[in-house]
Amino acid sequence: MRSALGEPDARAAVTFLGADRIEVLRFTEDDLVRYATLGMSAQPMSDPTAVLADPVKGPRAELVLTVRRGTGADTDKVLRPLAVLAASPQVEGLVVAPGASLDVGGPLWPGAPFTSVLVAESGGLVEDLELDAPADPVRFLPLLPMTPNEAAWKRVHGAQALQERWLTHGTDLRDPGRASVSLT
């Protein structure tokens, strides 16, 4: 992460009962703030229906959220919700993958119009981190904030359709106060 994002200017750690410690690092560059989890990839994610989890093989990921700063939004309060999402594979047995929706059960930060995120494809901002075989690489998955209406629309029409709608309407997904994209 440091080679792609530089040195973090803040970090916070959260420990959940029955889960490893999760850190959230903050990287600031010009008018952007990036929050990245650290610790989610310590163990591979495994199918919750599997009788025995493989301690080495399986997808590994960290989460990255990018927002614009200077808008008055208190986005630093996203640290705990991000840590909760990063702990969900260990706590709830979720496999976090591109196209998935992750709901935090409330605003991502105080006053945020977003209560969930869409998990996007890796390989953009932070390259995948190759690990020694047979371990899978660590994927750095961007998170795209969704309003409740966008999340409901995505459940019906799919992740690709929502991303196309954002693109068609020129939606600034980094705007921490943006309104929902037109869904009609």
Which tens digit of pLDDT belongs to each residue from 83-124? Answer: 999 999 988 888 999 999 999 999 999 999 999 999 999 988
* Residue 84: count of CB within 10 angstroms of its CB: 18
Average pLDDT over residues 152-162: 97
* Closest by Cα among 135, 129, 110 to 59: 135
- Given a cut of 80, whether residue 17 has pLDDT beyond it is no
pLDDT digits (tens, 9 = 90+) for 37-62: 999 999 999 877 777 778 888 999 99
Query: How far is Cα of residue 166 from the mean position of the Cα atoms in its chain?
Result: 18
The residues, any chain, with a CB within 8 Å of residue 168's CB and separated by 6 or more, are none
